């Protein structure tokens, strides 16, 4: 079992900061570089899980050449160590959802900055030819200054051309149900506009305190993504401008052709228009835990 002080390559483990299915995330020090880092390692009990190792290898392949202030940096991947691991940039232990939940009123004024930084990271990711396929608050790390970094590239795939989209076949639905676009539910080919839908769900949650669609069962939730119109954002938060409510509603269109064409278009809108009527001060409603996520 991994313990404080254990070396994985040149990474010295300092403190466990997270855990996933078969993995742990540690704050670490890369002694060779004298650099504070993060290590995502496979637990010994899952060392023979070939699918998990492929997923980690894929995540490194996606992230190793990405370099943007709002995207986490990947440094190393070692599949042959006693603990297979990824070495990456350290950016605090909390994701965006946890940061908002724990930060209270003092973070509310930073929500516009968070919305824009998430858009910047995702726009860059798309520019490099990737679709994330699992955009949600859990997949952005955040700090108390409202700075964000996009993480978790395990489901990312290369953007397909027209023929690739036409011949697309997906056997299983992958992603997170509360943020899933209709075409992903239908196992159709995805493009940047699919991430825009998920981003719209996340933005709605940040501003309204809950995702646009909830359900008591997974089937009910997915059916709402497929058929129900999104609730008006201004009804949940009267401080948002009608124009911002409309752009979020456009992001949540059922048909990808009715959404913004690109995250660059979304980012341009955000940087040239007002999100709130007045600087936000009151804390939005606490996000509702959804067991169907």
The catalytic site residues sit at 134
What lies within 8 Å, CB to CB, of 118 at 6+ separation is 70, 96, 140, 148, 150, 199, 202, 203
Kindly state the tokens that stand for 102: 């724990």
Continuous segment of H or E residues that includes residue 86 = strand 85-89
Among 69, 76, 184, 66, CA closest to 127: 66
Q: What is the DSSP letter of 286?
A: P
Buried b or exposed e, range 209-242, using 16+ CB within 10 angstroms: bbbbbbbeeeeebbebbeeeebeebbebbebbee
Of the CA atoms within 13 Å of residue 255, those in its CB half-sphere come to: 2
Among 20, 290, 60, CA closest to 176: 290
> At residue 43, what are phi and psi to the nearest 5 degrees?
-70, 150
Q: Decide: 233 and 242 in contact? Cβ < 8 Å.
A: no
CA distance 9 to 274: 48
CA distance 152 to 59: 7
């Amino acid at each position: 079992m991994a313990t404080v002080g254990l070396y994985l390559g040149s990474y010295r483990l300092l403190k466990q900061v997270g855990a996933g299915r078969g993995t742990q995330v540690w704050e670490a020090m890369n002694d060779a570089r004298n650099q504070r880092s993060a290590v995502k390692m496979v637990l010994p009990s899952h060392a023979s899980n070939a699918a998990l190792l492929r997923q980690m290898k894929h995540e490194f392949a996606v992230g190793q050449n990405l370099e943007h202030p709002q995207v986490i940096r990947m440094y190393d991947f070692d599949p042959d160590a006693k603990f297979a691991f990824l070495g990456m940039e350290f950016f605090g232990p909390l994701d965006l959802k946890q940061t908002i939940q724990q930060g209270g009123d003092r973070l509310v004024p930073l929500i516009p900055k968070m919305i824009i930084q998430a858009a910047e990271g995702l726009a860059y990711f798309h520019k490099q030819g990737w679709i994330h396929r699992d955009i949600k608050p859990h997949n952005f790390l955040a700090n108390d200054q409202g700075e964000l970094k996009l993480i978790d590239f395990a489901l990312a795939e290369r953007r397909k051309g027209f023929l690739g989209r036409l011949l697309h076949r997906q056997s299983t639905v992958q992603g997170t149900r509360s943020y899933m676009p209709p075409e992903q539910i239908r196992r159709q080919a995805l493009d940047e506009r699919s991430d825009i839908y998920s981003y719209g769900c996340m933005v709605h949650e940040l501003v309204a305190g809950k995702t646009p669609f909830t359900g008591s069962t997974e089937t009910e939730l997915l059916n709402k993504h497929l058929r129900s119109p999104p609730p008006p954002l201004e009804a949940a938060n009267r401080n948002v401008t009608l124009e911002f409510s409309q752009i979020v509603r456009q992001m949540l269109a059922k048909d990808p052709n009715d959404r913004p064409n690109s995250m660059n278009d979304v980012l341009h809108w955000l940087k040239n228009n007002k999100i709130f009527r007045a600087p936000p001060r009151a804390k939005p409603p606490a996000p509702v835990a959804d067991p169907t996520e």
